Amino acid sequence: MAGFKIHNHQQAHFITFAVVDWIDVFTRPAYKQVIIESLRYCQREKGLRIHGWCLMTNHIHLVVSSKESCNLSDILRDFKKYTAKAILRDLESNNKESRRRWMLWMFKKAGSQNSNNKVYQFWRQDNRPMEITSNTFFHQKMEYIHYNPVKEGFCFAPADYPYSSALWYERREGLLEMDEVLI
């Protein structure tokens, strides 16, 4: 998979992180909040530049790069590690989660099939980052991620969905600030 590695960390990349077995974890506000807060932290403290994003029930689409002298691969690795641990820790202790046992069983099953894990695996490993090398490709990916919630029937217009960057590009509002400097 050498073609799917990040080589130019300051160049924008389209990347999708999916939960193992496409488990709908992000139907719960608390788990959505873990993702939002972690992305904010990575922006503030680690040099992550977010150009576009959309959080769905079981995956997140990102168009991201890193600031000069920051390693995008390291930032994304840390983001995935932190969010997985935080959500799994909550699942282990939260008796209010109706799917708790099943979800932990699924994450444990996935973890047992991967020698890199100690117990659980939360995120799939097939991220396949794609370097954005043209404005055409950028606009194609942004339209794809912003219309994802519309296609799924969560809203009628992209800017109506709060867990994406569509509102930012329409009114400069939203849960996360975007870095529009791109290509």
At 28-47, the pLDDT tens digits run: 999 999 999 999 999 999 99
Question: Domains in the chain, ordered, with CATH?
Answer: 2-171 (3.30.70.1290)
Q: Quick check: 12 and 132 in contact, CB under 8 A?
A: yes
pLDDT at 68: 92
pLDDT at 4: 65
* pTM for the full predicted model: 0.92
Q: What is the mean pLDDT of the chain?
A: 92
